Amino acid sequence: MKKLPAVDVVLVGFGWTGAIMAQELTEAGLQVLAIERGDWRDTPTHFPTTTAPDELRWYWRKEMFQNNSRETLTFRNNRGQTALPMRRWGSFLPGEGVGGGGVHWNGQTWRFLPSDFVAASHNTERYGSLPEGMTVQDYGVTYDELEPHFDRFEKLCGIGGKAGNLGGTIVAGGNPFEGPRSAEYPNPPMHMTFSQNQFARSARELGLNPFPGPSANMSRAYTNPLGVQLAPCSYCGFCEKYGCGNYSKASAQTTILPVLMRKPNFTLKVQNEVLSIQKDSTGRRATGVIHVDIDGNEYEQPADLVILCAYQLSNTRLMMLSGIGEIYNPATGEGLVGKNYCYQVMTSAQVFYDDKYTNGFVGAGALGMCVDEYNGDNFDHSGLGFIGGGYLANWTTNARPIETHRTPEGTPNWGSAWKKAVADNFLKSTSVGAHGASMAYATNALDLDPTYKDVYGRPLMRMTYDFTPNDRAMAAFMTERVTAIAKGMGGREIKIEDRSGPYDSMPYQTTHNTGGTIMGTTPANSVVNRYLQSWDVPNLFVMGAGVFPQNAGYNPTGTVAALAYWAADAIRTQYLRAPGPLVQS
Partner 1 sequence: MRSLIVLAGVLTIWAQPGAAQQNSHAQVERGRYITATANCQSCHTEAGGEAFAGGRAMETPFGTIHTPNITFDEATGIGRWSKDDFHRALHHGRSRDGSRLYPAFPYPHFTKMPRADVDAVYDYLASRPRVSKERKEHELPFPLSWRRMVGIWNMMFFEPGEFRADPARSPEWNRGAYLVEGPGHCAGCHTEKNLAGADNKDRHLMGGQLENWAAPNIRGGRNGGLEHWSAAEIVAFLKTGRNAHTGALTRMGEVVNVSTEEMTEADLGAIATYLKSLDSEARAPSSRPSEAVLKAGRAIYFDNCSACHVSTGVGVPHVFARLAGSNKLNDPDPTTVIRIILEGARAVPTAARPSPLSMPAFGWKLTDDQIASVASYVRASWGNNGAPVTAAQVEDVRSALTARR
29, 44, 283, 502: which one binds partner 1 (CB under 8 A): 44
Contact 136, 549 (CB under 8 A): yes
Segment near partner 1 (CB under 8 A), from 49-57, 86-94, 177-185, 353-361? 49-57
Bridge-based pairing state of the strands 272-279 and 286-293: antiparallel
33, 236, 367, 564: which one binds partner 1 (CB under 8 A): 236
In angstroms, rounded to a whole number, what is the distance separating the alpha carbons of residues 363 and 359? 8
Closest separation in Å from C-beta 30 to partner 1: 21
Closest separation in Å from C-beta 219 to partner 1: 13
- Which of helix, strand or coil describes residue 451? strand
Segment near partner 1 (CB under 8 A), from 168-176, 187-195, 258-266, 409-417? 258-266
Closest separation in Å from C-beta 429 to partner 1: 25
For partner 1, the closer of residues 165 and 229 by Cβ is 229
Residue 228 contacts partner 1 per CB under 8 A = yes
For partner 1, the closer of residues 254 and 312 by Cβ is 254
234, 278, 287, 574: which one binds partner 1 (CB under 8 A): 234
Residue 227 contacts partner 1 per CB under 8 A = yes
Identity of the amino acid at 351: V
Q: How far is CA 198 from CA 360, 484, 486, in A?
A: 14, 13, 9
In angstroms, rounded to a whole number, what is the distance separating the alpha carbons of residues 68 and 95? 11
In angstroms, rounded to a whole number, what is the distance separating the alpha carbons of residues 254 and 188? 19
Contact 532, 520 (CB under 8 A): no
DSSP structure string for 457-517: SPEEEEEE----HHHHHHHHHHHHHHHHHHHTT--SEEEEE---SS--SSS------B-SS
Q: What are the φ and ψ backbone dihedral angles of 379, each rounded to 5 degrees?
A: -140, 165
In angstroms, rounded to a whole number, what is the distance separating the alpha carbons of residues 56 and 241? 11
For partner 1, the closer of residues 42 and 498 by Cβ is 42
For partner 1, the closer of residues 87 and 262 by Cβ is 262
Contact 38, 334 (CB under 8 A): no
512 classed as catalytic: yes
Q: How far is CA 430 from CA 107, 352, 398, in A?
A: 19, 7, 10
In angstroms, rounded to a whole number, what is the distance separating the alpha carbons of residues 87 and 83? 12
5, 50, 331, 380: which one binds partner 1 (CB under 8 A): 50
2, 56, 168, 262: which one binds partner 1 (CB under 8 A): 262
109, 254, 513, 514: which one binds partner 1 (CB under 8 A): 254
Segment near partner 1 (CB under 8 A), from 170-178, 229-237, 360-368, 577-585? 229-237
Contact 37, 70 (CB under 8 A): no
For partner 1, the closer of residues 52 and 345 by Cβ is 52
3, 29, 48, 455: which one binds partner 1 (CB under 8 A): 48
For partner 1, the closer of residues 267 and 509 by Cβ is 267
Closest separation in Å from C-beta 227 to partner 1: 5
For partner 1, the closer of residues 260 and 489 by Cβ is 260
In a 13 Å sphere around the CA of 305, the CA atoms on its Cβ side amount to 27
Segment near partner 1 (CB under 8 A), from 95-103, 253-261, 492-500, 518-526? 253-261
Give the active site residue among 291, 381, 435, 512: 512
Contact 283, 304 (CB under 8 A): no
Residue 49 contacts partner 1 per CB under 8 A = yes
Segment near partner 1 (CB under 8 A), from 43-51, 160-168, 476-484, 500-508? 43-51
DSSP structure string for 143-189: HHHHHHHHHHHHHHHT-B---SEETTEE-TTS-TTSPPBSS--SBPP
Contact 343, 475 (CB under 8 A): no
Tallying the residues shown for the chain, one arrives at 585
Closest separation in Å from C-beta 571 to partner 1: 25
Size of the site for partner 1 (CB under 8 A): 23
- Kindly calculate the radius of gyration of the chain based on its CA atoms and give it in whole angstroms: 23
Closest separation in Å from C-beta 272 to partner 1: 23
Closest separation in Å from C-beta 403 to partner 1: 20
For partner 1, the closer of residues 43 and 539 by Cβ is 43
In angstroms, rounded to a whole number, what is the distance separating the alpha carbons of residues 515 and 316? 8
Closest separation in Å from C-beta 226 to partner 1: 7
14, 16, 242, 247: which one binds partner 1 (CB under 8 A): 247
Closest separation in Å from C-beta 259 to partner 1: 5
Residue 232 contacts partner 1 per CB under 8 A = yes
**Interacting positions 136-165 with partner 1 (CB under 8 A):** none
Closest separation in Å from C-beta 44 to partner 1: 3
Cα angle at 464 between 58 and 481, to 5 degrees? 75
**Interacting positions 165-224 with partner 1 (CB under 8 A):** 221, 223
In angstroms, rounded to a whole number, what is the distance separating the alpha carbons of residues 494 and 474? 21
For partner 1, the closer of residues 55 and 498 by Cβ is 55
- Which of helix, strand or coil describes residue 120? helix
For partner 1, the closer of residues 58 and 554 by Cβ is 58
Contact 392, 371 (CB under 8 A): yes
For partner 1, the closer of residues 261 and 496 by Cβ is 261
6, 171, 231, 427: which one binds partner 1 (CB under 8 A): 231
Closest separation in Å from C-beta 378 to partner 1: 38
Contact 390, 347 (CB under 8 A): no
By annotation, the residues acting in catalysis are 512
Q: Contact positions toward partner 1, by CB under 8 A?
A: 43-44, 48-51, 221, 223, 226-229, 231-232, 234, 236, 245-247, 254, 258-259, 262
